Structures are given as structure tokens and as C-alpha cells.
Structure 1
Amino acid sequence: MTGPDRATRAALATGSPWLRRFDAGPPSPDAPVIVLLPHAGGNAAYYRPFSPALSTHAEVLIAQYPGRQERLGEPVPECVGALVDGVEEALRPWRGRPLTVFGHSMGALVGYELTRRLERAGAGPRGLILSGRRSALLHREEDVHLRGDDALIGTLTALAGTDARLLADPGFRELILPALRGDYKAVETYRHEPGPPLRAPVSVLIGASDPRVGASEAMAWRELTEGAFTFRSFPGGHFYLNDMREAVTRALVEDLTVFTARPTPAGSPG
């Protein structure tokens, strides 16, 4: 039996099942860090194509939520707070490093709440990048997680985030349905708790034709930070990242560079 390949060894080298790493990144122990948070039903592999370019600028850590891929046998968290708990604990070894947080769709909610948590702990990130999600202040009653399997899969198909041929495969559907349903429950039962605004700057990205979030809904994130705010719109729908990978990567690098140049947030280590 052969040993694990290089990518697998790198992915396991973070020391936590909650974080994967596909590329080594800058060798300096003081190098910036960017953590990427997946969407509902997503996994760490979704961000693997983004990692090589980002890793020339920062150490790239990608969240791997329970209930998918190598964590398939673990219970799926059904609230945003539980996802934040896992990622926050896994990031402890990187405390003191210049951190940027990025999340798409459900990952944006996780990223926002993670940033709130880290700021309260005096370890706030240098910046937060939110993609494909309306402001946490804008609640919308939804019940996708309560629907039947076909309706749940139909919602994912409509967003064009996963190959339709895979979604038509019964075996694949069986694998992803528990995580997908649990993630939708987490998102749909999320309620924003009042609190002080973020100190970190916030950058928001959306697809111009996203049926799930309009420009005004995305720009409403501005109300939740006292830091700088930027907004970018790209051609495409909810999963605009798929077709706009190079442009999105450039935007992430731009934000990462600006955020890393900021002074250490007050109360943070380092």
C-alpha cells in the first residue's frame, strides 16, 4: 500500500480536521493567513483551484465542515454557531498572524460571526470578505431544509453550483443530502443578534445576476462595520466564482494585500 499523496499530506498537516491546506504558502512563520469558508453543501475541495494563486501571498486554510468527504461519518452541525465554534478552535495555532476571512454564501454568515467572535476575544482579523450573501441584518423566512429530497436537490440545481449530472446520480445524492439539509437548516434558522459593529474592514462580492441576493441587500453589510467598506459585482449568478475564478482571485489578493498592511487591530496579539 502506498502512502498518502502530497496533496493529502498537506491537507492533513494543519493538525485539525476542520482545516485543510492544499499548498504550502509563504515559508515565513509570520506570513499572512487567509481562511476560506464554503457554501451550504460545499466542502474544502471547492476552493482548491483558488489555492495555488492565493498561496503565493498567504497561507491558505480551507474549512472542512463535518459530514462531508473525509468527515462523512460525523454529525452535521445544524446551526451557524456550531460551525463558528469548530473553525475558531481550529484557528488557535494561527492567532497572532495577520488573518483575512473569506466566506461564500453560508460561508459569509460563518465568516461574519467568526469575525465577531474573534474581535470579542481580542484576536480580530485584519479584514473580512463576504461573497454571495445578503446582509445578516436582512432575515428572510425560508424552509428549504424542511422540504423533500427532490426539492432540496432542485434548489441546488437551480443555483448551478454543482454539476447537474452528479446531482442526478442517486449515489452522489445520498452522500450530499445530509450535509446539504443540515447546512440549509443552519442558514435558515440563523438570527442576527444585536451587538457592536465590526472594527474590521469589509469587502463584499456578488454575482450581478444572483437570484438569491441583490446589490442593495449585499451593500447593507456596510451597516455592520465601522471599518472601510468596498463592493464588487461580477458577471454571473450565485456561483459566479466558477466562471470568474481569475477575476475573483485577483480581488481576493487585492483585499488581502490591503488588509495585511493595516496596523494590528487594537487588543489583538502580535
Structure 2
Amino acid sequence: MTITSAEHDLWIRRFHPAPDAKVRLLCLPHAGGSASFYFPVSAALSPGIEVLAVQYPGRQDRRSEPSIGTVAELADQVYRALGPLDDKPLALFGHSMGAVLGFELARRMEADGRRAAVLFASGRRGPATHRAESVHKRDDDGLVSELKSLSGTNTALLGDEEILRMILPAIRNDYRAVETYERPAGGPLTSQIVVLIGDDDPKSTVEEAKAWAEETTGGFSLRVFPGGHFYLATQQKAVLGEISDRLGALAG
């Protein structure tokens, strides 16, 4: 099915268009996150790399739209939205839930005769590993406590009850989607996988992150940074350097 320009733009955001870039990087937000989380990445890497960011339904300017309940359905919708973006290499960067979504997008690309240039999987254990997690079943206070412990959401927002009530449904939905995700049957990717993780991440140990190696025949590497689940906020320069180095050859 052909996707319209308006549909594409609803899902895919370009903060700094770079039509002359030789490679694109599609960024996928964490649970409760939005495309704007990657604005600094776009600013830093443009114009050598064109950074695109996915805006999920149920937040910011898409707040009135219903959230999507499963990672698989979300991957289907994002892949459809990518539509025409097949004229140059496309790398994927996903943090936390976004890493799982990136894996599912890479699988869809390969099933369609395409291949992700690189899959950057950040802050997430390997897709085949399992933890019995049920944060999405907590009450609102329990969900807010989880967000504060991970320091992934602006604490000023957490103190504003009106804003909090607007974003909690989307956050809960995302947690439900990723906590009920199970890796589907199928072989490994042929795309290179680069895993980035904080050394004190409560959501994934380094050993669990190493399990990503089983998901590709195209090369695997792991880099451990100081920090917790949102290590990339304090290690931004090093993370951007890692991305630039990996994509440099593609960008020429």
C-alpha cells in the first residue's frame, strides 16, 4: 500500500533536513519517549548524516491518537511509514523499547529484501532474553516511581499533575508493549549490530546485552559506558562519536 506524504511526515520527523547526506539514521524513542528526544542527535550529526526520528501515536502532537498496543504492530506501522526511504543506506538507533522496535524493523527490512546498514541497540538486553516485568500493571504512583528511578523523564513534568495525567496512558501502553514482547521465531539478521549500554543499567546487565550477538551474522560489538539506563544523556559526546565512527564509512 502506498503511503502519502502526510502519513509519512506524521510518523517520521526531520529536525535538520540533509538531502545531500549519503546515509540516514532512524532514531526510535524509549517507552514514553517522543521524537524530540533525538533533536540534539540530529543537530550534532547533520548535515553529514540525516537523522530521522519516529513520533509514536499518543504523545505530543499525536496525543489524541490511540497508542499502539504491541511492538509488532508498531513495527508494522513504522515500516510502512518509511515507505520511500530506500534510496540510500538506512541505519537504526533505538534506546530501550526503541532497541526492540529497531530489531523488529530490521527483520521486516530483511524480509522485504532490504537491510539495515547498522542496528544500534541501546539500553536493552538481547531480544531472546526474558525478565518477568510488570511495571505496566502498577498504579500511577508506581509508574511514576519507575520513571524517577530511571531518570528518563524530566522531573518537572513529573511534578505537574495535569501534564502527568496526559502522558501516563502512553507511557503505560509502551511499558505493556515491551514487557509482553516475545522474540518471534526466525533466524538472525545479516545487519551489523552495535550494542551500547550503561554499566549500572537496572534494565539490562552487560551479560544480558551480550545476548544481542546471537541475533546477527553480520558482526557484533558491545560498548559499555559509565551510567545507568539513560547513560546516553551524560555520555552524549561519546555516543555521538560512536555513531559517527560507525557510519563514517557509509557517509564517505
**Cα deviation code 1:58-116 (max 9, x no counterpart):** 21110000000000000001100121112101111111320101100000000001001
Matched, 1:181 2:172: yes
Cα distance in 2 for residues equivalent to 1:211 and 1:167 = 20
Cα distance in 1 for residues equivalent to 2:20 and 2:166 = 37
Cα distance in 1 for residues equivalent to 2:190 and 2:170 = 32
Q: Tell me, what secondary structure is at the counterpart of 2:234?
A: coil
Matched, 1:82 2:73: yes
Contact 1:197–1:224 under 8 Å retained in 2? yes
Deviates more, 1:68-77 or 1:50-59: 50-59
AA matched with 2:70 = C
Matched, 1:24 2:7: no
Deviates more, 1:19-28 or 1:87-96: 19-28
1:118 equivalent in structure 2: 109
Kindly state the Cα deviation for residue 16 of structure 1 after the two structures are TM-superposed.
Answer: 2.4
Question: In the superposition, relative to structure 1, how do residues 64 and 113 fare at CA in structure 2: closer, same or farther (>3 Å)?
Answer: same
Contact 2:68–2:74 under 8 Å retained in 1? yes
**Cα deviation code 1:143-164 (max 9, x no counterpart):** 1111101101111110011122
Cα distance in 1 for residues equivalent to 2:20 and 2:6 = 14
Q: Tell me, what secondary structure is at the counterpart of 1:94?
A: coil
Gaps of 5+ in 2: none
Contact 1:208–1:233 under 8 Å retained in 2? yes
Question: In the superposition, relative to structure 1, how do residues 13 and 21 fare at CA in structure 2: closer, same or farther (>3 Å)?
Answer: farther
Gaps of 5+ in 1: 1-11, 262-270
Cα distance in 1 for residues equivalent to 2:105 and 2:16 = 23
Match of 1:192 among 183, 196, 203: 183
Question: In the superposition, relative to structure 1, how do residues 255 and 14 fare at CA in structure 2: closer, same or farther (>3 Å)?
Answer: farther
**What CA RMSD, in Å, does the superposition of the two structures yield over aligned residues?**
1.6
Question: In the superposition, relative to structure 1, how do residues 13 and 249 fare at CA in structure 2: closer, same or farther (>3 Å)?
Answer: farther
Question: In the superposition, relative to structure 1, how do residues 192 and 260 fare at CA in structure 2: closer, same or farther (>3 Å)?
Answer: farther
Contact 2:128–2:183 under 8 Å retained in 1? yes
1:216 equivalent in structure 2: 207
Matched, 1:233 2:220: no
2:136 equivalent in structure 1: 145
Cα distance in 2 for residues equivalent to 1:259 and 1:189 = 35
AA matched with 1:59 = E
Match of 1:257 among 242, 248, 252: 248
1:265 equivalent in structure 2: none
Q: Tell me, what secondary structure is at the counterpart of 2:203?
A: coil
**TM-score computed with the length of structure 1 as normaliser:** 0.88
1:51 equivalent in structure 2: 42
Question: In the superposition, relative to structure 1, how do residues 259 and 198 fare at CA in structure 2: closer, same or farther (>3 Å)?
Answer: farther
Kindly state the Cα deviation for residue 14 of structure 1 after the two structures are TM-superposed.
Answer: 8.6
Cα distance in 1 for residues equivalent to 2:118 and 2:192 = 5
**Cα deviation code 1:169-221 (max 9, x no counterpart):** 10121121011010001001101112111000100000111111111100110
Match of 1:244 among 224, 228, 235: 235
Cα distance in 1 for residues equivalent to 2:213 and 2:249 = 18
Q: Tell me, what secondary structure is at the counterpart of 1:118?
A: helix
Cα distance in 1 for residues equivalent to 2:43 and 2:7 = 17
Cα distance in 1 for residues equivalent to 2:127 and 2:184 = 9
Match of 1:100 among 91, 111, 129: 91
Matched, 1:63 2:58: no
Kindly state the Cα deviation for residue 139 of structure 1 after the two structures are TM-superposed.
Answer: 1.3
Kindly state the Cα deviation for residue 257 of structure 1 after the two structures are TM-superposed.
Answer: 2.2
Q: Provide the identity percentage.
A: 47
